[in-house]
Amino acid sequence: MMILFYFLSLILFFKFLSLYSIQFIMILGLFIFLKVNFFNFYCSVSYFLGFDFYSFWMMLLLIFIMMFVFMSFDMFNESLFLIIGFFLFLSLFLVFYSLNILLMYFFFEFSLIPMILMIFGWGYQPERLISGFYLFFYTLFSSLPLLIFIFYLSLNYSFFFDLNFNLYISMYLNFCLIFSFLVKFPMFMFHFWLPSAHVQAPLVGSMFLAGILLKIGGYGIIRFMFMFEDLFIYYNYVWYSIVIYGCFLVSYICLIQSDMKFMIAYSSVSHMGMCIMGLITFMKLGFLGSFLMLICHGFCSSGLFFLANLYYKLTNSRSFYINKGMMNFSPNLSLFWFIFCFINMSCPPSVNFLSEYLIMSSMVSYCYVSIIYMFLIFFFVSCFNFYLFSYLNHGDYYFIYGINMVFVIDYFIIFFHLFYLFMLNFYYFLVLF
């Protein structure tokens, strides 16, 4: 509760604080948070709030992304935009902090409101209205089955996460339980809101979407899979078949994109599909690989969207056909593009490589035919990351009408995305080996 009220009290002083003051307060809150002994089963538990190992890492990712967001605010003087962003941060924080299913559902759905306000109020093109409606109706349609499932639990069972239920095995119950999280992951066939929302959202909205909002689905599945094991195991093959086919198609679709944000958004769909497959195999290696990918992809995709926004500010375009030969203008940014594409395609020694190796091991154990699809998915993922880097940074630079400059704070934000990724890399290789 101390951490919650610490961040909650910041809303009262947003109008009077500078960028550096808020950044210092966020860093201080991070140190307070790191003092907690998360190795206990539940720590700092009140009646409805607390966290364990899984929610600790998700909240740590959330605080880091929020620090990057504050550093990259283009509209810092707009206090309304700042307050909306902080309400989004608090709602996501309480999703990971809740020990009660109903409370988690409430904050899970409440996070939709600040995100839509960001897209409607500060989006780029008039199409942002369509993107906001996509996000709204997809979330509304998918959340109703989960609400029905919660009502079903309220008649016979408890709402707390530390219990294990033996429910009646039914495809309807399985659909109601998992559908809302698969849309937020997002899964193939329910992902159409994501590229549109990413393209029309401001930079802050894209960083929140890529860094945190896409991870809520994985966190929800992790929470519920321990409570309803039989319900998951019996019908996992249905979702597994859809996702593995969808990952292949989406990674192929990335190769025909001409917009940087569209390509990065579709690559997120492909990577999150691999997370789903690792989780629903119900194997230890797959679970560990999916959890690692959730954390690492949060930093990697947030950094890629920040780099894409930098090029958009330089040339006022997100098209590959205009952003060519940028290595001639800014070799430093090209180096960062290379490192992020290198991590995004899961090359060793990045943690993404370890996570994909663990997911692949669990998938082959679950269904040996999966190795054919995995080979195709890995091949196309490498192809579109190579295409993204080479098309943007190589070739003839011909943008002669004028160009903006890159500031030191921009390099600072990109560097810290990489710094936390490499620290995470070092930590996990130290623990595992």
Look up tokens 């940087």; give the residue. 260
pLDDT digits (tens, 9 = 90+) for 126-178: 778 888 888 888 888 888 888 888 888 777 666 777 666 667 778 888 888 88
Q: Where are the alpha helices (DSSP H) in 35-100?
A: 53-71, 79-97
Q: How far apart are CA 226 and CA 101, in angstroms?
A: 13
User: Domain residue spans in the chain?
Assistant: 1-7+17-206+220-227, 236-433
Backbone angles phi, psi at 43, to 5 degrees: -125, 150
Task: Tell me the sheet residues that pair with 98.
Answer: 49
Residue 160: strand, helix, or coil: strand
Q: How far apart are CA 389 and CA 101, in angstroms?
A: 42
Task: Tally Cβ neighbours within 10 Å of residue 347.
Answer: 13
Task: Tally Cβ neighbours within 10 Å of residue 424.
Answer: 19
Name the average pLDDT for the chain: 81
Q: How far apart are CA 54 and CA 224, in angstroms?
A: 13
Q: Which structure tokens are listed for 42?
A: 């539940």
Task: Tally Cβ neighbours within 10 Å of residue 258.
Answer: 12
Contact 262, 317 (CB under 8 A): no
Contacts 24+ apart (CB under 8 A), 140-146: 142/179, 142/180, 142/182, 142/183, 142/184, 142/190, 143/105, 143/108, 143/109, 143/180, 145/175, 145/176, 145/177, 145/179, 145/180, 146/105, 146/176, 146/177, 146/179, 146/180, 146/181
Contacts with 326 (C-beta within 8 Å, 6 or more apart), sequence order? 311, 314, 333, 334, 392, 393, 397
Per-residue pLDDT of the chain (433 residues; tens, 9 = 90+): 666 666 666 666 666 666 667 777 777 777 777 766 655 555 555 567 777 778 888 888 888 888 888 777 765 556 777 788 888 888 888 888 888 888 888 888 888 888 888 888 887 777 788 888 888 888 888 888 888 888 887 776 667 776 666 677 788 888 888 888 888 888 888 888 888 888 888 888 888 888 888 888 888 888 888 888 888 888 888 888 888 888 888 888 888 888 888 888 888 888 888 888 888 888 888 888 888 888 888 888 888 999 988 888 888 788 888 888 888 878 888 899 999 988 888 888 788 888 888 888 888 888 888 888 888 888 888 888 888 888 888 877 766 555 567 788 888 888 888 888 888 777 776 666 5
Q: How far apart are CA 147 and CA 91, in angstroms?
A: 18
Task: Tally Cβ neighbours within 10 Å of residue 81.
Answer: 19
